[in-house]
Amino acid sequence: MLHRKKRSKTEPARGRTRAKGPAELQRAAGPTRSGTKQETVLGMLRQPKGTTIAAIMKATGWQQHSVRGFFAGVVRKRLKLKLGSKTVDDNRVYQITSADGGGPSSRQSRRRPA
């Protein structure tokens, strides 16, 4: 009968290595990547005729509250774009109305200097 040596709880499993330091996220400082849901929604909002929440929900698979949260958090706050809306045939149509085209924002850090 073969007996295996039991490993202690603090000993890492064989074949696995632990990370040496904190994991760093690789984020691009430039504009958003192409082909993302964010880029899809922004493209729909930049159309001259605008778009509805229902159309965005269909294109992204998001729920209505998620689309509204995207408008508030990303479009208005992070990207600092003007988002206008109007009613056309009893449907609310949203459109980016700012002239800057939605380039990367010059957001300032809230951290105090060291």
Reported as a single tens digit per residue, the pLDDT across 57-113 is: 999 999 999 999 999 999 999 999 999 999 999 999 999 986 555 455 555 667 777
Residue span of the structural domain in which 73 resides: 37-96
> In the numeric block, which tokens belong to residue 57?
């929900």
| Average per-residue pLDDT for the chain | 80
The answer to whether position 82 is within a domain reads: yes
Tokens 């951290």 identify what position?
111
Residue 91: what are its φ and ψ, rounded to 5°?
-120, 135
Give me 99's structure tokens: 């002239």
- Number of domains observed in the structure of the chain: 1
| pTM, to two decimals | 0.58
CATH number of the domain where residue 69 is located: 1.10.10
User: Is residue 84 assigned to a domain?
Assistant: yes
Tell me, rounded to whole angstroms, the distance of Cα 30 from its chain centroid: 14
Look at residue 96 and give its three-state secondary structure: strand
Per-residue tokens: 102: 């939605």
Residue 76 maps to a domain: yes
- Of 14 and 45, which is predicted with more confidence? 45
Establish how many alpha carbons lie within 13 A of residue 104's alpha carbon, considering only the half-sphere containing its beta carbon.
Answer: 8
Would the pLDDT of 23 be above 60? Answer: no
* 3: in domain: no
